[in-house]
Amino acid sequence: MISVQCGSALAAHLFSTVGPGGAAFLRLAVGALVLLAVWRPWTASHGRSEWLAALLFGITTAAMNLSFYAALDRVPLGVAVTLEFVGPLGLAVAGSRRFLDLLWVTFAAGGIVLLAPWGGLHLDAVGIAFALLAGLFWSLYILLSARVGRLFSGGSGLAIAMAAGSLALLPVGVVSAGASLLDGRVLVVGLGVGLLSSVIPYSLEMESLRRLPTRVFGVLMSTEPVVGALVGLIFLGQLLDVRAVFAIVLVTIAAVGATRSHHTVPIA
């Protein structure tokens, strides 16, 4: 979580040069190059359904990252992560009629309402919309991640997906960044973003899931909005007011509660 959020904070420093689209492209391109080199998916044969699943996974990943960076360009990191987390939280309680799950949904809804740009809280409405859209793509990402994990061995499917996602974002990155994508400083920072946001956390998640029950892993991941707020404060100087902090606490409680209420929770 610290790696991902530090990667997001580093990406925010690229926005003035390459824009959110350029930063999202660099993140996926670096991740794709590293994962392709490690897993070499071309050495195994894959069927049509496998390729289709990986391509859909990659396009969804690209849309999720682009939406999140567009949100991060307009609202603080802790707020963007909190709103985005509504996606997997909704997926965790989808279809449930238990009172506890309805309670967690109410907590999360309360957090969203508190983050709405009214009553003196000056947050960009477009940024909020992009963060919620990123949450929708995150829930789709989780479902497709599980499918790709079943169809491919190791990280081959992820490598193909990252390559497909970076190709999908190539036009966006070129339009957003232009010749800045060839700037040495931009490439070095982009390398850091890709390593911190994709390569390192994906590897750590796989190792964690080999050692921890999924339920425990899900509870730990539920604290990500808090981590995002702290990283935003330390590295971006984004000091949140009491109302925003309370909203983050509500969504975190909802995420932890929903995760603990289920024995099996889909995790990215």
pLDDT (mean) for 118-134: 89
Burial class (CB in 10 A: 0-12, 13-18, 19+), 43: exposed
Token digits of residue 43: 């050495």
Q: How far is CA 110 from the centre of its chain?
A: 22
The model scores a pTM over 0.85? yes
Mean predicted lDDT score pLDDT of the chain: 90
Q: Does the pLDDT value for residue 265 go beyond 60?
A: no
* 57-116 residue pLDDT tens: 999 999 999 999 999 999 999 999 999 998 988 887 886 778 888 899 899 999 999 998
Structure-token match 């700037």, residue found: 183
Predicted pLDDT at 71: 98
**Sign of the torsion formed by the C-alpha atoms of 174, 180, 182 and 185:** negative
- How far apart, in whole angstroms, are the C-alpha atoms of residue 136 and residue 268? 13
Least confident range from 73-77, 124-128, 149-153: namely 149-153
Predicted pLDDT at 221: 87
Report helix, strand or coil for 8: helix
pLDDT band at residue 247 under the 50/70/90 scheme: very high
Cα 128 to Cα 68, 76, 81, 92, distances in angstroms: 10, 10, 10, 22
Decide: 236 and 77 in contact? Cβ < 8 Å: yes
Q: Does the pLDDT value for residue 178 go beyond 60?
A: yes
* 192-231 residue pLDDT tens: 999 999 889 988 887 887 788 877 888 888 899 999 999 9
pLDDT band at residue 238 under the 50/70/90 scheme: very high
- How far apart, in whole angstroms, are the C-alpha atoms of residue 255 and residue 224? 10
pLDDT (mean) for 238-258: 93
- Exposed e or buried b per residue across 129-145, where buried means at least 16 C-beta atoms within 10 angstroms of its C-beta: ebbbbbbbbbbbbbebb
Predicted pLDDT at 260: 79
Token digits of residue 130: 């992009």
Q: Which helix (H) or strand (E) holds 105?
A: helix 99-115
Decide: 231 and 82 in contact? Cβ < 8 Å: no
